[in-house]
Amino acid sequence: MEDRRTHLSAFLAHVTTRRQVLRGALAAGALVAGGLLASCRQGAATPTAAPAGQTPAAGPTVVSTPGAVTEFPRNETLFVAGFQWGPPTTFNPMTPGTGWPAGGQYQHIYETLFAFNLLTGGIEPQLGEKLETPDSATMVITLHQGTKWQDGKPLTADDVVFTYELAKDHPEVPHNTFFDYVSQITKVDDRTIRLDLNKERLNPGFVKQFLASVKILPKHIWEERAKSGQTLTEIVDTEPVGSGPYKLVGFSPERVALQRDDNYWGISVFGTPAPKYIVHPIFKSNDEGNLALEQGRIDISQQFAPKIWEMWEKKNLPVGTWFKQPPYHVPGSIPLLFINVHKKPWDNPTLRRALAYAINYAQIAELAMSRYSITANSSLIIPDGAEKKFYDQANVDQNGWKHDPQRAVQILEQELGAKKGNDGIYVLPDGTRLGPFKVECPYGWTDWQTALELVAQSAKDVGIEINTEFPDAPVLFTRIPNGDFELALWFVNGVSPASPWIRFRDVLDDRGVPPVGQQAFWNYNRYSNPAVADLLDRAAASQNEAEQKELFAELDRIFMKDAPVIPLMYRPLEFYEYNESVWTGFPNADNPTAPPQQSGAGIKILYVIKAKS
């Protein structure tokens, strides 16, 4: 069986960028990894601004929080926002919805072997010093010298093997399908681990995704828990012992507080992170968090901030993003318009392509994404950042589509033989009227709602009637994976060590996808093409970029010919926004000392910033 748990984790990570969804899903009892990423709500009132040109106070103010540490000098404390949207109850790294920063790929408390860099698409040393591949089916990992836990005990290959082997007896852990891709993990010596990859499902990119996402656990603490018979994800842990550069020193419904571990094993390798403390206030709304960023009470944020460029262009504030011009953020995912290819008349790929030509993608980027997206192309490959090396513009130009209403009408009339009715809506030769059709996304995801209103208008302009509906999110969490929809805006995996392979899998691969009525974890519309499986498997196994690019190009050609989904926009994996009132030296496109992310390789941000005073 394919990696459902891993895909679900990515699925939930996207879900939790939206605080509205979190609230609704929890009320419905849905499994939601709450608070790992920020809200993307739009349409709310813009927060009150600080006076133009006024620099927020950056003096040594003190913030109190419950816990072992109660005072945080402002010039020693980095304030972050956008990851924790409710009171934390546990810091168990395997629990969905665990408190920041225990979950996800954040390296503050628990560390992974390697850290994902969204700019390069590669993985960089973290606990692991190097990764060697003596042959296509073997990986050898060497740990850094001196790795140890925050309680002083050594961190060795035993801890690594123990952590990964939890997947054998504990199907609830996030990496429960690790051994579908790895036949064996072996301790060579205290600092060396060998992975023998499954030659029948050779996929080194996907294995690297495990290496960059599985938090290594202290065997001397977790072994007893694993043997106790408890469900590991249900263990409440409020005193986490990790190996990272920060320790948890307090949490409450108002904030999470970390303190630098000056005995961190990695100081000799990475240096000492600049902030002595990191505090994450827990805001009640996006507006509250955005106002705090604007006023310099938050130093780095991962929230959707409407028209953030106005903070520096109109208000002269020391606020920045990765790019100073649109799209401001590095693209990391593609929200897709899923089309139910088993419902007439959408079973006809020619009609799907007509709709694809009708949509005004530039308008979606401008109005729905507030300039935070370039105009979407017809490829499943993101044309910038980590996936740029695989993107084939010539392939898109030759086989794809773009906003061209005249071409959409030409397809409807000349290729489908449709006739326009007196009401302006086309009718197919068999009498099928092109509408009304229903397109859906969750209520409260206002950027997506705006995008779908624009899709409906674009379709109407060429003679296809589409109406929008916005059910509560938990309704669509069930219906879309079950295949119960006509048209729906949804998401698949973003940039990762396994992309773009994993996105092609999510859209095109019908292996392991259950029938309509049962929950799917990819390919929600149950598209099928017999040529896909072999191409996907060859791309997964290949370690030659040129060969992979050719295989992805062929997969893209199949996708663009059949158009089972339509890319509408690009989104960042993390919104990356900073205020330099207190801390300076934040990376950006002109100063790329670390990637624009607070997870994974973005931990390097803490080593390059400096306090003003």
In a shared domain, residues 552 and 596 = no
- Asked whether residue 15 is domain-assigned, the answer is no
584 and 558 share one domain:
no
Q: CA-CA distance, 202 to 281, in Å (whole number)?
A: 43
- The pTM for the full model equals 0.86
Burial class (CB in 10 A: 0-12, 13-18, 19+), 516: middle
Beta-carbon contacts of 394 under 8 Å, excluding residues fewer than 6 positions away, are: none
The CATH code of the domain that includes 412 is: 3.10.105.10
Q: Which of 189, 207, 236 is the last residue of a domain?
A: 236
With CA atoms as reference, report the closest residue to 306 among 325, 322, 291, 316: 291
Are 556 and 581 within one domain? Answer: no
Dihedral of CA 442/447/453/457: which sign? negative
Residue in the structure block whose two tokens are 């520096």: 312
Tell me whether strands 419-420 and 565-567 are parallel, antiparallel or unpaired. unpaired
Q: Could you tell me if 443 and 497 lie in one domain?
A: yes
Give yes or no: residues 372 and 305 share one domain. Answer: no
Residue 610 lies in a domain: yes
Any idea what DSSP says for residue 239?
S
Q: What is the CATH number of the domain that holds 182?
A: 3.90.76.10
**Rounded to an integer, what distance in angstroms lies between the CA atom of residue 52 and that of residue 226?**
56
Per the CB < 8 A criterion, the answer to whether 348 and 302 are in contact is no
Q: Is residue 11 part of a domain?
A: no
The pLDDT assigned to 68 comes to 56
d(CA 151, CA 145): 17
Those residues of the chain that have pLDDT short of 50 are 1-67
User: Is 346 in the same domain as 376?
Assistant: yes
The per-residue pLDDT for range 107-153, each reduced to its tens digit, is 999 999 999 999 999 999 999 999 999 999 999 999 999 999 999 99
Cβ–Cβ < 8 Å for 588, 595: no
Decide if 99 contacts 89 (C-beta within 8 A). yes
Alpha-carbon span 444 to 85, nearest angstrom: 16
User: Does a structural domain hold residue 424?
Assistant: yes
Nearest to 240 by CA among 254, 251, 226: 251
Task: Compute CA distances 389 → 288, 328, 546, 548, 552, whole Å.
Answer: 39, 21, 9, 10, 11
Task: Give the start-end residues of each E strand in 298-344.
Answer: 300-301, 319-321, 336-339
In a 10 Å sphere around its CB, with 0-12 CB exposed, 13-18 middle and 19+ buried, how is residue 19 labelled?
buried
Residues of the domain holding 347: 336-567
Query: What is the rounded distance in angstroms from the CA atom of residue 176 to the CA atom of residue 164?
Result: 9
What is the predicted pLDDT for the residue at 492?
95
Q: How many domains does the chain have?
A: 3
- Cα distance between residue 88 and residue 208, in whole Å: 29
Q: Are residues 538 and 594 in the same domain?
A: no
Q: Look at residue 318 and tell me if it is in a domain.
A: yes
- Looking at this protein, which amino acid is placed at residue 351? L
The dihedral of CA 84, 89, 92, 94: what is its sign? negative
Q: Report d(CA 424, CA 395) in Å as an integer.
A: 34
pLDDT at 446: 87
pLDDT score, position 11: 39
314 and 413 together in one domain: no
In this structure, what CATH number is given to the domain that contains residue 94? Answer: 3.40.190.10
Residue 355: name the closest of 366, 369, 334, 340 by CA.
340
On whether residue 6 sits in a domain, the answer given is no
d(CA 456, CA 360): 10
The answer to whether residue 486 is domain-embedded is yes
For residue 142, give the nearest of 196, 110, 181, 190 by alpha carbon.
190
| Beta bridge partners of residue 339, listed in sequence order | 487
Q: Using the 3D structure, point to which of 172, 202, 236 is the last residue of a domain.
A: 236
Do 490 and 343 share a structural domain? yes
Residue 204, in any domain of the structure: yes
Regarding whether 385 and 280 lie in a shared domain, the answer is no
**Could you count the other beta carbons within 10 Å of the beta carbon of residue 430?**
8
Angle ∠(463,467,469) on CA atoms, nearest 5? 165
Q: Which of 546, 567, 588 is the last residue in one of the domains?
A: 567
CA distance 116 to 124: 6
For residues 162 and 308, state if they share a domain: no
Same domain, 285 and 341: no
